[in-house]
Amino acid sequence: MPDQSILDSNEAVTARLEALVSNLTDAGLAADLGGGWTTAVALGHLAFWDRRIAYVLTRWKDGGEPHQELDDDVVNTALEELLKSLQPREAARLSVESAKLANAAIAATPDSIANQLIAEDHAYLLSRHNHRTEHIEQIERALG
């Protein structure tokens, strides 16, 4: 299991995300974040990356393939139009649900896997709070 401070930070930022999402109006979900993204697109983006790590860690823990690096820019660009097609409220709901799934998968990660990720400079996969914070702050700036 990853260090407790990572788990605590993931949980704290998930609570922050849940509070943000619960207060978003339709206009807030449609707020322009720049680069063609809205708040809803950013939340869908978070949902994808959290679900990905939840799946990767669960599969690996259950004896499947270990984590494999992706070209994040390619994935984000390929997903953009799909994320734009999500209903904004559904993107918001999925962002919170996916954060909780990722948190649970991270908490259940055996030391051997967590240590390997850290040794291979992939600790960011366990510290999901960093990515979530980046987009929460982006949304908060756009909402003023």
- Domains recognised in the chain with CATH numbers: 4-143 (1.20.120.450)
| CA-only gyration radius of the chain, Å | 15
Q: Tokens for 111, please give them.
A: 């030391």
**20 burial via Cβ count (<10 Å: 0-12, 13-18, 19+):** buried
- Render pLDDT for 70-119 as a digit per residue (tens, 0 to 9): 788 898 899 999 999 999 999 999 999 999 999 999 999 999 999 998 88
Q: What percent of the chain has pLDDT over 90?
A: 76
Q: Is the pLDDT of residue 7 over 90?
A: yes
Q: Tokens for 129, please give them.
A: 């709070």
Question: 88, 40 in Cβ contact below 8 A?
Answer: yes
Instruction: Average the pLDDT over each of 1-5, 74-78, 116-120, 139-143 and give the range with the smallest value.
Output: 1-5
How far is Cα 98 from Cα 46, in angstroms, rounded to an integer?
A: 8
Rounded average pLDDT over 15-25: 97
pLDDT value at position 123? 87
How far is Cα 131 from Cα 9, in angstroms, rounded to an integer?
A: 12
- Render pLDDT for 50-75 as a digit per residue (tens, 0 to 9): 999 999 999 999 888 777 777 888 98
